[in-house]
Structures are given as C-alpha cells and as structure tokens.
Structure 1
Amino acid sequence: MSEDTLFSEVLNPANRADPYPIYARLRENPVSPQRDGIVVVSTHAAIRSLIFDPRLSSEDLPPSHRPRTGNPLKDWLLNPIKDRIATAHRPLIFRDPPDHDTLRSVVMREFTVARVLALKQRVVRDVDALIDACRGRDEVCLVEDLSYPLPVAVICDMLGVPEVDEPQFQRWATQLATALEPDARHDEASRHKTVAAFDAISGYMRALIREKRRRPGPDMLSALANPITTKPGPGGKAAMGDFDLISTAILLLVAGHETTVNLITNGMLTLLRHPHELDRLRADPERAPRVIEELLRYEPPVHFRTRKALGTIEIAGHTIRKGAPVILLFAAANRDPARFADPDRFDPDREDVQHFGFGGGLHYCMGAPLARIEAEIALVALSRRLIAPRLLSDPPPYRPGASLRGPERLGIGINGIAARST
C-alpha cells in the first residue's frame, strides 16, 4: 500500500474486521491527500480544529439524478423537478448553516430530554422481552435477536411510526445508509438504487405525515407536523416546510436505529473479547456509563464523515485546496496516541475520554442521549442474563459499509438465560 492509496484500503471489505492498523499509518500524516483527490484527516488535534471550520461544508452529496425511464413526461418534466427538490431539501446532516441550524433547532425543540427519558422503561421492557425470547436456545445472533429490533422499536415509538411497517423501511434504510460511503456515491447503479429507496420512503413518510395531521398523537412526528405556531422570530416558533419535514423524518428514522445497532453489537463483541470487563459490568451495572463512553472511543458506530472544502485551508503544515473532498476519520482520531495513552487498549476506567464517537461540532449526533440509554440498558442486561456467553466466530462477518461499521451477525454461544433482574 502506498501512502496515497491508504484510504482505498479502508473502504476494502477485506479490512473491515480490523481497519485500525491502516488508521495508524494514516495518522503518520495528519492531513493525507489521496491519489483520487480525497484528503483524509485522521488525528485528534486536526479534526478538532476542523469540525467548527465554516470553510468545511457538509453539502457534499452529488446532485440528485434519476435514471432515464424512456417516458418523455417523466424524463423531461417530472424527474427533473423531483431532482431539484431532492437536492434542495437534503436531510440536515448534509446541510450547512443557516439551513442546518434552523432545521436542527426545530427538531431539538421536540427531541427533548423528557421525551427521551420517557422511553427508558420501554427500553428496559423490550430488552428483557427480547432476551426472554431466546430461552431454550444454545446460541443467539445478537443483531437479529436484539441489536436491530430494539432501536427500531424505540425509534418507531418515539416518532409514531407503526411498528408493523418496519419490514418496509428496513430495506430502504440499508440502501440509504450507502450515502455515507464515498465509493457508493459515485457508482451509478448504487446511486439509482438510493434514489429509488428515497422515493419509496418519501412516499411512505408523506402519507404518514398526512395521517399525523388528521389524527395527531403524543409522538414526535405529530409534533413536528403540527407546530403550535409557524411564525418565526421572537415569540414564535419556526416550522419546516413539507419537503424538509419528509427528509428530516427519514433521517430520524434511519439514523435513529442504524448507529445504535452498531453501538450495541460492537459493545458486546468488545466485552466478549475482554471477559474481565464483562464480569465487572455484570457485578457492577453502575459502571455502564464508563463502559459506553470507552466503547464510543474504542469501537465507534460511525468511523468517518465526508465534507467538502469551500475555500483553501492551511492545517498541520498542509493545504486543503478549495473544492477538495475531505474525510474526517473519527475512528482514527479516537485512537490517536497523541491524545490517549495506550489508545489500542480497551479501558473503561480511562479518564477524560473526549472521543468523536458521536461526531462533533454542528453535526454532533442529536440522538446521542437516546443511544447511550439503549446501549447501557442492553449491555447490562446481556452481561447479567446470558449464561457463559462466548463468541462463535471471531472476527464475525461485517456489514459492507466502512463508515457505519459493525458486524452483520454476531453469533454468541450460551448455556442458558438467567431470570430477569429485580
């Protein structure tokens, strides 16, 4: 591997199980131009200096472009209009200020601490029910049996999405997640699949929002679809237009479970690889917050995000030229020895864990409090209720994506299921 092709090795599925040696090589050059024009930023200090830099834009997705259908009406009139709307109303993680800030403030007005805490008992019940369903078996697949169904049920509850509709959007969500993968963005076939998935889930959300306006409930989507006032400014509350509301609802639904699946699965995999820490968590559940923060550093659910340079940026002795695509390699920064002592060691007793497990800056993950609650409850219950858990294969098979990195399956052998904790 030459230095200017290292990031292509990060994207190579053959390295999905352990990309950290490649990250270590990338950190040798904090700002690393690649042969394909991408600039990879990989050290903690360099990323920290860039995450608030207004010259680094999140509006880096290629314009929406629907494939030709052979129907002149669609190809020359309807689809170009749809493409313009889709490009102008991206989900807020692909938007810059002021649009990003306006949309985020509307979401955070409803994504309250009280709403998140109200779900805590629901999470406890769901985790116990999912573990109970594994009784009588000598092995479980953590992804299928808990890591996936739990956050899906929780985000559906919070948004007011009927849980029976979950099988419809599972396939859509998997395809939409490829928007975070640089190689998939520029693959024509993948882009067409993503457009089709976005159109399908947009249609679903449009119908659901209409229903929320006819029959609003206590859920978050009802609140966003029926703001108390649409008058912006002092004394009023900004509201979203329908196109932004649809893209925001899609973002909340997809991001609300995709990253949490990885956090729980990576967490249990790490604990099974460190049985002493699993035993400590079982004996002392109050350690859970420390365990989660170290997991977010050590095995984060999101490894990198993409940006675009709006101007020339001088950093760490290097120049990022205007227009260059930029990779913020958060997972490499999380193991930067210049920031963390013995960074490749999993140590929940580590102090001052200022990680990028939920990103950073303007785009810090809105759902971080909910993800922490779900992961803490799930990992404590798994540590206490799975009897003699052990990995059936290590490394396990991984999902295709390099950005949203996590096992596709995690087989765990068990000697039974213990009773629920009182």
Structure 2
Amino acid sequence: MDSETLLARITDYASRANPYPLYAELREAGPVVWQAGGNCLIGGYHQIAALLHDPRMSADPRTRGEVTHKPPFLRLDDPEHHRLRTLAMRPFGPPHSPARVDGMRGEIDRITKELMTSFDAGRRIDIVDDFAYPLPVTVICRLLGVPREDEPLFSAWSNALVAAADVRPDEDTTETDKAGDQARMEMGGYLVNLAEQRRGRPSDDLLSAFVNEPDPALRLTQDELAQTAVLLLIAGHETTVNLIANGVLTLMRLPDRLDLLRREPDLMPRAVEELLRYEPPVHMRERIPHADIDLDGTTIPRGTSVILALASGNRDPKRFRNPDRFDPTRPDNQHLGFGSGIHLCYGAPLARLEAQAALGALLPYLGTAQLVEDPPPYRQNAMLRGPRHLPVQL
C-alpha cells in the first residue's frame, strides 16, 4: 500500500520544498499509519497532542535499547528529565519569568541592526547566511559565554549532531550516528573546558552560572554539564534559523500578508505564532511507548518507533479553520510548533523574541525585494526543515 511508504516519501529530499500534500495523505490514511519498516506515523493534531501528554510515551532511545550512553534531557523521561530541565533553566530566572531572556531584547535588536548595515538597495543577499544564521548564533554565544570566533568549530559539530538526529527510514545510519557521537563528545569537552576556566571567576553567562552553582544539590555533574551545554548551544540556534528563513519566504510569497504586517506591525507576535503553525522549524518527533497504547481503536505495541508529524498536526482541518492559509490574525492558535507536554521547548521565549525582532526589522526591505529562487534549496534534514540558502534581491 502507498500509505506504508509515507515516511520514506515525506523524508525524501524531493518532497522537502512542499511536504504538505503528503501530510494531508497521512491524515486521510488514518490515526495510526504503519510503515514498511515497522514504525508508525501519526498525523492528526488531537492524536499527536494526546501522545505528547501521555506518560507512557518515552522520549528516551534507551527504551528500545538503541544506545547505552545517557542522552541529553531532551531525550529523557521524568523524573530525571524534570530534574535536569529544572537545573538547566535556573540561570534563566524564576519559573515562568525568563528574566535573562527578557534582558536580551535590547541586545537582540542591536545585533539585528548590525547585521543589516550592509543591506543596500540593489544588493543580492542570502537571508540564511547573512542574517537568519548569524543572529541566533551570536545571541546563544553571548548567553552561554562561547567566543564568537569559535563558531566554525561548533558549526561543524552541530551539523553532525543534527544529521544524526534526523528521521532517516531505510538508511544505514551507522556512519552518521558514529559521527554524531564523536561530535557530541568533542563539543561537550570543549564546553566543559570553557566552563572550568570560569570556576571561581564567574562572569555573566550560563556556563559560569552552571559551574559556580553554590548549592551542591543543584550542581550538574561534569557529564550533565557537557550534555546540557551542547543541547543549549544547538537548540539555541538551529530551529530559530529555520523559523526566520521560513518566515521571510512565507511573507515574500504572500505580499498581501506582508502588506498587512507593514501596516500593522503590532501583529508581529501573532504572525510569529502563525508561522510556527504554518511553516514550523521542527516537523517530526520520535516517541517510544513503554507499554501498549490504544489510540482510537488501534493498539501501538510497546517499543514501537512512533513518529509524530507535528507539521501535519498543525495543518489538521479538524483543529484549525482554513489550515493551509497563513493568517497573522488567527485566534486560538494552539500550534505544535514548540511541541507540547513535558518536553515543550523551553527555549521558546528566546526563539519568539528573536523571530519577532528579525522579521520586524526586515519588513521595510521585503516589500520591494524579490526572491531569486523559488523554491530555494533546502537543508537535507527532514526533521529540522528550512531553506539552506534564501537568495533575495534587494
């Protein structure tokens, strides 16, 4: 059956520019769509949301016996996930009050303006390389305390780790996984070394806060510090690059919506939420049930690889009216762009702030700019979907 090849077709690079017809096919095929490799795909909003909140669904790859090393807390279950996530969030300020992120607002605006000083009329720029990538990289480097000149180092490590995390059905992933493990080890060692240089000599950055925590009960072990710092550095820029680039591409394709935002810039926060629904930076997440689960009459056995197609849920007509329309005024926009449940992206406030600042600053330029290539070349990664380059003629 064609439905058994949906994951292979969705992750095929030929579908990267527009996977949404395949997501519609997935939703039509049923709440649980079994794939030829034995895993299953879930594409409906309500089913995805239910599974993201189901304590029987594990994020830990060790549930299936795949890895022996301890993963970062993004791939752990409670209570260990809650402990490490809480410790990682402490330097950001009290719960539900991200003081450190709010304090970055002026810095983000300043970095944005710096990056745009060369945006001269008549010039061709690459939105990704010239803007969408350097902005969040500079911000996360400042937050963590990583020297900006070391960016080429962690860029290579990050590429290897992201490639290893991708959904790749019917592929031999041995070499990719090995490269990812090597990158994780080298990057973790680099970040722990940076942190150790600040032990007893704290500065205003997250690595200093982690290594100089006065309460022994709240300190991260060296392995936990390495895993957490690697996760923060990668998650702090990879998805935001896609969010900004996808946002620019969407607005340039829809000049009426672009004009609306230029007339009513106060709509930008809602427009960013709509972008997270309409063109999310993260398309899929894997979960593994550690008990049999009944979903709408279908049993998903324990140990099954369950791929939750978040981007499909975001376009589900059973949840969103006119789901294939980009509407910056959309009310009740409870999208899955940052996931949901205990693994809701805790970097969401920073990503929102960066996207709002970036797209708001670009609005005056985009009205008269032209896309050089549409569709643009996309990244190989199907899970973290976004343009690899986005050339624009100013």
Distance 1:168 1:214 in 2: 26
Question: 1:205 Cα deviation (Å)?
Answer: 1.2
- Determine which of 193, 202, 222 is the counterpart of 1:207: 193
Which residue does 1:163 correspond to in 2?
148
Question: Quick one: which amino acid aligns to residue 189 of structure 1?
Answer: E
Q: Structure 1 runs of 4+ off > 4 angstroms?
A: 61-65
Does 1:103 find its partner at 2:89? no
Which residue does 1:24 correspond to in 2?
24
Which residue does 1:124 correspond to in 2?
109
Which residue does 2:182 correspond to in 1?
196
Distance 1:410 1:391 in 2: 8
3-state SS, counterpart of residue 288 of structure 2? strand
Question: 1:136 Cα deviation (Å)?
Answer: 5.8
Distance 1:393 1:21 in 2: 21
Does 1:373 find its partner at 2:359? no
Question: 1:283 Cα deviation (Å)?
Answer: 2.3
198-207 vs 328-337, which deviates more? 198-207
Q: Deviations over 1:135-192 (max 9, x none)?
A: 3652110000100000000001111111111111001101101233132895111112
C-alpha contact 1:110 1:223 (8 A) present in aligned 2:
yes
Which residue does 1:183 correspond to in 2?
168
C-alpha contact 1:297 1:357 (8 A) present in aligned 2:
yes
Q: Deviations over 1:57-101 (max 9, x none)?
A: 001267787xxxxxxxxxxxxxxxxxx5xx12x111111111100
Structure 2 residue runs of 5 or longer lacking an equivalent are none
C-alpha contact 2:255 2:367 (8 A) present in aligned 1:
no
Distance 1:347 1:305 in 2: 25
3-state SS, counterpart of residue 236 of structure 2? helix
Which residue does 1:11 correspond to in 2?
11
402-411 vs 272-281, which deviates more? 272-281
C-alpha contact 1:64 1:195 (8 A) present in aligned 2:
no
CA 1:33 to 1:64, structure 2 compared with 1: closer, same or farther past 3 Å? closer
Q: Deviations over 1:32-65 (max 9, x none)?
A: 1111011111101101111121111001267787
Does 1:316 find its partner at 2:296? yes
Identity %: 44
Which residue does 2:136 correspond to in 1?
151
Give runs of aligned pairs for residues 6-405 of structure 1, distance below 5 A: 6-28=6-28, 29-60=30-61, 87-88=69-70, 90-112=71-93, 113-135=98-120, 137-183=122-168, 187-231=173-217, 238-386=218-366, 388-405=368-385
Question: Quick one: which amino acid aligns to residue 50 of structure 1?
Answer: L
Distance 1:412 1:214 in 2: 47
Distance 2:160 2:268 in 1: 32
Question: Quick one: which amino acid aligns to residue 230 of structure 2?
Answer: I
**Cα RMSD, aligned residues only:** 1.6
Distance 1:11 1:268 in 2: 23
Pairs aligned (count) = 387
Q: Deviations over 1:231-271 (max 9, x none)?
A: 3xxxxxx2211101110000000000000000000001000
Distance 1:263 1:336 in 2: 20
Question: 1:203 Cα deviation (Å)?
Answer: 1.9
Distance 1:284 1:318 in 2: 47
Question: 1:324 Cα deviation (Å)?
Answer: 0.3
Question: 1:278 Cα deviation (Å)?
Answer: 1.2
What is the TM-score of this pair, normalised by structure 2? Answer: 0.95
Which residue does 1:406 correspond to in 2?
386
Q: Deviations over 1:356-377 (max 9, x none)?
A: 0001111110110010010001
163-172 vs 179-188, which deviates more? 179-188
Distance 1:365 1:186 in 2: 29
Question: 1:197 Cα deviation (Å)?
Answer: 1.2
C-alpha contact 1:4 1:32 (8 A) present in aligned 2:
yes
Question: 1:123 Cα deviation (Å)?
Answer: 0.8
Name which one, 1 or 2, has greater alpha-carbon Rg.
Answer: 1
Question: Quick one: which amino acid aligns to residue 338 of structure 1?
Answer: K
Distance 1:311 1:387 in 2: 53
C-alpha contact 2:192 2:225 (8 A) present in aligned 1:
no
Structure 1 residue runs of 5 or longer lacking an equivalent are 66-83, 232-237, 415-422
C-alpha contact 1:180 1:306 (8 A) present in aligned 2:
no
Distance 1:203 1:228 in 2: 22
Distance 1:382 1:149 in 2: 15
Distance 1:347 1:410 in 2: 22
3-state SS, counterpart of residue 61 of structure 2? coil
3-state SS, counterpart of residue 116 of structure 2? helix
Distance 2:10 2:365 in 1: 36
Distance 1:135 1:63 in 2: 54
C-alpha contact 1:60 1:306 (8 A) present in aligned 2:
no
